[in-house]
Structure 1
């Protein structure tokens, strides 16, 4: 990567310079950004779409340095004391394009942050709804168990009530086989035995 052709544009040379300082290979840039293979080695400039792709993935690279060569290469890095030699502009009006791209990058970052916050809020809302549904399910199960217990109690009460109202079949419908015998008088029984002949007593 240190052999940079003179014919390629300033933007490509700066991208390759950044990649060389970070130890990034060309094929990694193509894979990570979606830029077509071989673009960085071709003559000519770099499209706005490819610049946006590169800046979106390698967010530590300073858009100002990439587009103008001013300031530090990396964001949050102090600018070198000796400014690099001025380089020719990539094409007329490119400074305005730089500013527009920087604004777009900032807007995209803000939109991504907003979407991330919205997604996290929605996830928390879904989790809260799931907890509420689970609580309602447990409450329904408890109510069903309570209803079942009451139904069993009612059933037992009905059985007890029917048992109390049911007449005693043995006492209601069972008649005595014969009239009860009068109580036996020992004296009368003895006199009756004396009055009967002895043969009658042993008559089968």
Structure 2
């Protein structure tokens, strides 16, 4: 009787498990945005001068300027012909459609913010998503008496080979690390012997 009860419990558990798997498969949705490139590959490709656009070339007909600042900052003042897609809203479906249509039209997207550092994350995300037509404007934006001031931004060029650094870091992370236990050398403490005092006085 107990064995029949066990078999019954096992069959109920198996049926519930199979049902859970079927429901999971039926309700599974692929994520809308998947990276076409991993971070390592994207960093290797974007650490070159070809991804920077100087301020003097901003009027190129093939470029589409996108301001990644907030709508408040954009309304305060922006570059001519620029459209506003702030960084937190970059992955919205309507905004990704804009990037898709610009890529299809063969246009180069030029991102800018208050400074190039502000745009780095947005550039990396879009590039990893497969938008290899994205560049970064070498400009700094400020205001003087509510007037927009733009000036060239000098981007520091690293003296080290970044691609080689990434490659070396990956190699070190992949290699199996061997833990070596190093025993510290024993300290020898010398104890000074006290000199015996000579007996004072006498008989």
TM-score, normalised to structure 2's length?
0.24
Question: Which structure has the greater CA radius of gyration?
Answer: 1
Larger strand proportion of the pair: 2
